[in-house]
Chain A
């Protein structure tokens, strides 16, 4: 059972370079998410996709774009990387979005450690 798979696991970029982080889930989940994790801070939501064909901004969307390629795949793109985007990025998925009263479980990938120099 692969669960949520992210690629790459590590990446070093130069300021201004672009790259795409890939995420795929094999649990037939409808909703997918991208978070970033920085030291001393809780995970913060960048973008999410409630269902195939939809995407919405989270708390910290600036500098990022996403594509929900199909039900399985949700990619995160950095168009022009900046040092402030140095972080660990996590993709997650859940059967449905987290609605009030629901116990939808979230499953996380292993993370992509990105350094922008």
Chain B
């Protein structure tokens, strides 16, 4: 079954600290993996897209890694800010041979506190 699983479900950290969010996927065939940030009451916004040939990709204080062999990805947030409080969703497209489908993880709810 094509799935995307994220951990932890929720996380609380102090402002300025780093954190790492995990994503395991079983979607096959694999083409790329996306990380989205979803603020409360808003739609998801793309942070990064990683293809199978990319190991690391950065977007400001966000760094995503991908290990296509173990089917794992992580999102590392450096020097967290209050504005980083959001849900982070891992997404993998599934090619259904004519249709299209994004397989969404359930997200990691991050709260950054003072």
Q: A and B: partners?
A: yes
- Would you call B24 an interface residue if the criterion is a C-beta within 8 Å of the partner chain's C-beta atoms? no
Contact between chains at B31 and A110 (CB < 8 Å)? no
- Would you call A62 an interface residue if the criterion is a C-beta within 8 Å of the partner chain's C-beta atoms? no
- What CA separation (Å) do A114 and B62 show in the bound complex? 33
Q: How far is the CB of B23 from chain A (nearest CB, A)?
A: 11
Contact between chains at A109 and B4 (CB < 8 Å)? no
Residues of A74-117 at the interface with B, using a CB-CB cut-off of 8 Å, are 90, 92, 97-103, 105-111
Q: Tell me how many residues of B have a C-beta within 8 Å of chain A.
A: 25
With a cutoff of 8 Å between Cβ atoms, the chain A residues found around residue B99 in the complex are 56, 97
Contact between chains at A105 and B49 (CB < 8 Å)? yes
Contact between chains at A98 and B43 (CB < 8 Å)? no
- What CA separation (Å) do A114 and B31 show in the bound complex? 34
- Would you call A61 an interface residue if the criterion is a C-beta within 8 Å of the partner chain's C-beta atoms? no
Contact of B45 among A40, A44, A102, A108 (CB under 8 A): A108
Contact between chains at B31 and A101 (CB < 8 Å)? yes
Q: How far is the CB of A2 from chain B (nearest CB, A)?
A: 13
Contact between chains at A110 and B42 (CB < 8 Å)? yes
Contact between chains at A98 and B45 (CB < 8 Å)? no
Contact between chains at A42 and B41 (CB < 8 Å)? no
A42, A45, A111 pick with most chain B CB within 10 angstroms: A42
Q: How far is the CB of B91 from chain A (nearest CB, A)?
A: 8
Residues of A42-82 at the interface with B, using a CB-CB cut-off of 8 Å, are 42-45, 48, 50, 56, 58-59
Q: How far is the CB of A71 from chain B (nearest CB, A)?
A: 17
Q: How far is the CB of A31 from chain B (nearest CB, A)?
A: 7
Contact between chains at A97 and B100 (CB < 8 Å)? yes
- Would you call B60 an interface residue if the criterion is a C-beta within 8 Å of the partner chain's C-beta atoms? no
Q: Mark B82-100, 1 if CB is under 8 A from A, else 0.
A: 0000000100010100011
**What 5 A-B pairs have minimum CB-CB distances, sorted nearest first?**
A42-B104, A108-B43, A100-B95, A97-B100, A98-B93
- Inter-chain pairs besides A100-B93, A110-B43, 10 sampled, C-beta below 8 Å: A4-B43, A40-B106, A42-B89, A42-B106, A43-B102, A97-B100, A98-B102, A99-B93, A103-B51, A111-B43
